[in-house]
Structure 1
């Protein structure tokens, strides 16, 4: 038995609906009826990294990071493939640069999407404490 099973269906055109557990995920290659696959990947990466960052903070003795927000950006190459990803990570907690860097690195070690991507496509992360 697999650890993860999904079903993805396209009735016509380029839009797909994926059944992921009890949830439906709409993705449209043209971006007309839902986010396109590249945008979905970038959002999924950010959605994976934030909880990993929180766990990294707990492991480094910072239990309350407060609000955490990622403003993600990505560049596409001439083939419309993802060429680079960048995260601007805003953290409510007032952390110094060394604390932030340590938690950022630990978050990278924990994030499953970060681990799954080819090394050249991993996010370039800039982190800002006392951001809210």
Structure 2
């Protein structure tokens, strides 16, 4: 049986991206720092890792794959969005928000898009 081991993100500055995702997710580096590849893992050890590899390709405006980060409810979502923005994420002006969107689109300091989902809506 297969399982997801790692989600891989491209970055022009691997250390900067790793610093953001370490703070955003509370993850730790699996190995020592490197300029071209880093794997971040949950502090507890078990769970999906985030790997960051050096990439020279441009960021996609509408990526086919992205991370969904789950927040507990609307208040938690708002607090997490503000926390992530304070860490260096930016809000994405996305023209496809439905009127009752349960998600907020952000981009990490490298421009990789991700969503913060309000899971309290059922």
Fold conserved between structures, TM > 0.5: no
Larger radius of gyration between Structure 1 and Structure 2: 1
TM-score normalised by length of structure 1: 0.31
TM-score normalised by length of structure 2: 0.32
